[in-house]
């Protein structure tokens, strides 16, 4: 049977199993395509119909190039290669959010570690240094003072990759022990959760606890605008509240990891089904 949906993924996690189950319940023929086996031509034959692709690849490089390779072959990919590339680059995401007029923490890009030290001074105090590309809170460093900034940037300067010397700095927002993750699919809010942690990083992958956030009227419109700003039809939008409780957009994730959100929603909503609705064209934006 010709597949109607291709799930692009090199690793099958709990989320992918939920997606497979949602497709099977709908009797939608699908196939998993491992990016590690994928190759293609720049001038492919586009004559025959192509199934839609749901991009669930966790490797940023393979997610971007896999999407673009399949788009070149005539597939529709959700999210698109362009949206995946934009969301995966923190600086480009920050620029897109700022252009859309969305509130975000003050952010600086420095092209060398020395320039980053000057940028830290201009930010005027505690900041966070993040890798341009990365997830799950890895290599995100809190920099409370100049001495720490000097030590961190000395290490950065010694890294072999030239891209590592390009430094992304963001002001440290003293959040109230939590942030908000909003799941977006097809121009609608699936649901939102508070992520709480004893530490300053609130990633679920680092052990943060989630609880359902019922206040979609406050956070939903901002999350939808953020997803639209980066062109993501499916997104996990991370918001942070400042000391006065005002939300700001922290980042937009093109590969929505939804185990925590699903756990908080319980039986009310199936996140997997909401994503499959987008893939099947039942939600177009």
- pLDDT recorded at residue 10: 97
pLDDT class for 203, splitting at 50, 70, 90? low
Q: Quote the CA–CA distance of 169 and 82 in Å, as a whole number.
A: 24
- pLDDT recorded at residue 1: 67
- pLDDT recorded at residue 217: 80
The tokens 């499959």 sit on which residue? Answer: 276
Quick one: average pLDDT of 237-246? 92
Residue 176: is its pLDDT beyond 60? yes
- pLDDT recorded at residue 85: 97
* Lowest model confidence (mean pLDDT) among 81-85, 89-93, 220-224, 281-285: 281-285
Interval 112-160: pLDDT, tens: 999 999 999 999 879 999 989 876 667 789 999 999 999 999 999 998 9
- pLDDT recorded at residue 149: 94
Q: Quote the CA–CA distance of 266 and 281 in Å, as a whole number.
A: 25
Per the CB < 8 A criterion, the answer to whether 152 and 110 are in contact is no
- pLDDT recorded at residue 163: 86
- pLDDT recorded at residue 198: 66
- pLDDT recorded at residue 243: 85
Quick one: average pLDDT of 79-103? 97
Higher-confidence residue: 258 or 2? 258
pLDDT class for 200, splitting at 50, 70, 90? low
**Residue 54 bridge partners (DSSP):** 7, 78
- pLDDT recorded at residue 43: 79
Residue 276: is its pLDDT beyond 90? yes
Residue 145 dihedral angles phi and psi, to the nearest 5°: -150, 170
The tokens 């497709």 sit on which residue? Answer: 23
DSSP assignment of 39-52 equals: ---SS----S---E
Strands 234-241 and 247-253: antiparallel
Higher-confidence residue: 44 or 57? 57
DSSP assignment of 119-174 equals: HHHHHTS-EEEE-SS--TTTT-EEE-SHHHHHHHHHHHHT-S-GGGGSEEEEE---
This model's pTM is above 0.75: yes
Residue 194: is its pLDDT beyond 70? yes
Strands 178-185 and 188-196: antiparallel
Q: Which tokens belong to 167? A: 């430094």
Residue 206: is its pLDDT beyond 70? no
Average pLDDT, the chain: 91
Q: Quote the CA–CA distance of 149 and 145 in Å, as a whole number.
A: 6
* Lowest model confidence (mean pLDDT) among 6-20, 71-85, 96-110, 126-140: 126-140
- 158 C-beta neighbours (distance < 10 Å), count: 10
- pLDDT recorded at residue 46: 67
Domains of the chain: residue spans and CATH? 5-87 (3.40.50.20), 106-171 (3.30.1490.20), 175-279 (3.30.470.20)
Q: To the nearest whole percent, how much of the chain has pLDDT over 90?
A: 75
Distances (CA, A) of 16 to 22, 142, 178, 256: 10, 33, 27, 11
């Amino acid at each position: 049977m010709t597949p109607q949906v291709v799930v692009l993924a090199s690793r099958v996690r709990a989320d992918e199993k939920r997606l497979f189950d949602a497709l099977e319940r709908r009797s939608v023929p699908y196939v998993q395509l491992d990016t590690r086996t994928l190759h293609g031509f720049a001038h492919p034959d586009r004559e025959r119909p192509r199934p839609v692709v749901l991009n669930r690849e966790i490797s940023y490089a393979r997610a971007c190039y896999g999407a673009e390779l399949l788009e070149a072959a005539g597939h529709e990919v959700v999210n698109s290669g362009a949206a995946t590339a934009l969301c995966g680059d923190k600086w480009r995401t920050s620029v897109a959010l700022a252009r859309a007029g969305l509130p975000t923490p003050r952010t600086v890009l420095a092209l060398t570690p020395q320039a980053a030290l000057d940028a830290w001074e201009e930010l005027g105090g505690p900041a966070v240094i993040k890798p341009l590309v990365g997830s799950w809170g890895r290599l995100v460093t809190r920099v409370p003072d100049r001495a720490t900034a000097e030590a961190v940037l000395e290490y950065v300067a010694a890294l072999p990759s030239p891209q590592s010397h390009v430094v992304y700095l963001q002001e440290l927002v003293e959040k109230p022990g939590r942030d908000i993750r909003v799941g977006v699919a097809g121009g609608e809010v699936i649901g939102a959760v508070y992520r709480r942690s004893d530490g300053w990083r609130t990633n679920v992958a680092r052990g943060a606890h989630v609880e359902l956030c019922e206040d979609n009227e406050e956070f939903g419109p901002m999350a939808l605008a953020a997803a639209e700003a980066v062109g993501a039809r499916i997104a996990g939008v991370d918001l942070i509240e400042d000391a006065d409780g005002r939300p700001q957009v922290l980042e937009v994730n093109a590969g929505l990891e939804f185990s925590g959100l699903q756990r908080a929603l319980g039986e009310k909503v199936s996140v997997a089904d909401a994503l499959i609705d987008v893939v099947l064209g039942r939600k177009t934006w």
